[in-house]
Amino acid sequence: MKILSTQEREILLNSIRDIPDFPKEGIVFKDITTLLNNAEAFKTLMNHLTERYTEYNLDYVAGIDARGFIFGAVLADRLNIGFVPVRKKGKLPYTTVAEKYALEYGFDELEIHIDAFPKEGAKVLVIDDLIATGGTAKATVSLINKVGANCVECCFVAELAFLNGKDGIESDVYSVLKF
């Protein structure tokens, strides 16, 4: 299984900007927009993910709204498989299945098309930019199971490990970078 080299890790770490006190005081926000606009860093990340997942024999990549769409669509293209968007409530035009998840103050909801994975027992990789508390990832895995597919792994560009967000996710979890 492919792991990052020290040089690759440095390229990625140096491309992520810290924004203190965003979205509220005391939070250090990991801004990946600077990774996205850095051609070397983005290519390094996508090459790493492509090498890692080539042997998984996946059928689909499911990207979580919205930054998971960026990484997921590119990875699906590179793996020559389908991409499925997991959207916030009310954004998908066809019949959907929904899953609520807890936020710090309240709830939110994700949806997926009921026919998102036409292949029976499809092997799916979930991808997003960051895992913090894990609510969206848990909801996404639940949605994939509800529509009859199999989540093989959840992949995150970055993990805020001190929040233990991967605990309770009913899938293997891979984080490229851990903070």
**Could you tell me the two tokens for 94?**
């066809």
The label of the residue with tokens 């998840």 reads 101
One-letter amino acid identity for 96? T
99 is catalytic: no
Residue of 104, 109, 153, 159 with catalytic role: 104
One-letter amino acid identity for 64? I
104 is catalytic: yes
Between helix 39-53 and helix 67-79 the angle, nearest 10°, is 60
Report the C-alpha gap between 71 and 86 in whole angstroms: 13
Report the C-alpha gap between 120 and 33 in whole angstroms: 36
Residue of 67, 78, 99, 153 with catalytic role: 67
List the catalytic residues. 67, 104
